[in-house]
Amino acid sequence: MFNKRNQLDETLNQMLDNPKFHDYYIFLTETNKITNLTRITDIDSVYYKHFYDSIILSKHLDLKNKTILDIGAGAGFPSIPLKIIEDSLQVTIVDSLNKRIRFLDDLVDKLNLEGVKNIHGRAEELETKNHYDIVISRAVARLNILVELTLPFVKPGGWFVAYKSSNYREELDEALTGIKKLGGSFDRAETYQIDNEESHVLIFIKKVKSTDNIYPRQFAKIKNNPL
């Protein structure tokens, strides 16, 4: 059974103390037997690579009473673990696969989470532009594409945070022109250790001004002709 406390890591201990993570683990792995949600299923890996990886953001941004949009959350990562540890967070999830949205609706009921809205649709079709305090996304697209699916929805003064693997430098360089065109500014990258083998990075992009209404473009244009 997973239990690797670390006296210096309050975030990790907060996760271990919260029974909702165990309920999430059980529901995720049970549903995964009939519908494809994740390749990772053993308890240690789900806790580290999904739950702990997701909640790392709480070490860097104050999430109290913030509105957060998660683009392509799949089985709920990173936004649902963040909601479990910060109940005042108002979460909107958009995912283009309806079976994942149905799973998330059931999960939200099971865990008794209030203030989570799951939308079946594509990010580039959302109308809530320049609106959210924070937009997050993990494992959805290369950064030069992802910025157009995310930054238009951040309000000026807010943040887009991309969860990436530690070899992010080239991806970031490719995305810098687009970030600027969309009203963003690269702030910093924070590297962190997931377990003994893996390190990941959070890329913080500040929204410095409203995004022009022509963005995001249709997906084919975003993909074939990144900014």
- Say how far apart CA 113 and CA 86 lie, in whole Å: 11
Least Å from the CB of residue 156 to ligand SAM = 23
User: Which lies closer to ligand SAM via its Cβ, residue 12 or residue 94?
Assistant: 94
Least Å from the CB of residue 124 to ligand SAM = 6
Question: Taking a C-beta distance cutoff of 8 angstroms, is the pair 155, 162 a contact?
Answer: no
Least Å from the CB of residue 137 to ligand SAM = 7
User: Which lies closer to ligand SAM via its Cβ, residue 84 or residue 149?
Assistant: 149
The contact set with ligand SAM (CB under 6 A) reads 71-74, 77, 94-97, 100, 122-124, 138-140, 149
User: Which lies closer to ligand SAM via its Cβ, residue 95 or residue 133?
Assistant: 95
Question: Taking a C-beta distance cutoff of 8 angstroms, is the pair 152, 122 a contact?
Answer: no
Cα 208 → chain centroid: 21
DSSP 34: T
User: Which lies closer to ligand SAM via its Cβ, residue 13 or residue 29?
Assistant: 29
Nearest of 80, 74, 43, 59 to residue 11 by alpha carbon:
59
**Which residues does 74 contact at the CB level (< 8 Å), separation at least 6?**
37, 38, 95, 97, 100, 139
- Say how far apart CA 111 and CA 80 lie, in whole Å: 10
Least Å from the CB of residue 5 to ligand SAM = 25
User: Which lies closer to ligand SAM via its Cβ, residue 49 or residue 66?
Assistant: 49
Give the N- to C-terminal CA distance of the chain in Å, as an integer.
Answer: 47
Least Å from the CB of residue 109 to ligand SAM = 20
